[in-house]
Homo-oligomer: A and B are copies of this chain.
Amino acid sequence: MNKTIEDILNRRSIRAYLDKPVPEDDLKTIVKAGIYAPSAKNRQDWHFTVITNKETIDQLSAMAVVGMKRIGLEPKEDAHIFYHAPVVIIISSKIAGFSSVNVGCAIENIALAAKALGYGSCIVGQTRYMYHKANKIDVDKLIKIPEGYEHDVAICLGYPNEEPEAKPRKENIVDYIL
């Protein structure tokens, strides 16, 4: 089968990782894949913060967990929103028409490039809960979000330590006009 189609169909969300760093060259290729996503009117109004510093990754997770508790959610005691992955990429963008669709394209490119190179990944939205723990200015500074940009979503990645099956796909979600 076509390798690209195969990678698209076999990409899974991975929630267990080996404690093993991702080589710099691969990480650069993965980030480049994100940057080569399409964006509305080619604005490319996005920003990527690539984090491999374990202390920072753990700190962000802990902040998000506190934020969750503050708004009444009940994360597990040992919850780690990035599943202890060795790499976290935070995506932010200028909020404008289609910015979230653009970000979706970029993050899916990252997920697929990771898959293509033998890594697992998981898109993580819980980073937004950090903003319930601390002020926006402080969180944005910590994760290097540029002024005028808003954090959208994150993705963690690394060598996978599980091989989950594909979740069943919903039926009756395609209509045709032939």
A interface list, Cβ under 8 A from B:
2-5, 7-9, 11, 13, 29, 31-33, 35-38, 40, 42, 44, 46-53, 56, 97-98, 100-109, 111-113, 115-117, 123, 125, 143-144, 152-153, 166-167, 169-170, 173-178
User: B111 and A112: CB pair below 8 A?
Assistant: no
- Across the interface, A35 reaches (CB within 8 A) one of B48, B98, B108, B169, namely B169
Determine the chain B residues whose CB is within 8 A of the CB of A5 once the complex forms. 29, 33, 113, 116-117
A36 with B169, Cβ < 8 A, contacts A176-B50, A177-B52 known = yes
A50 with B4, Cβ < 8 A, contacts A98-B153, A100-B100, A104-B107 known = no
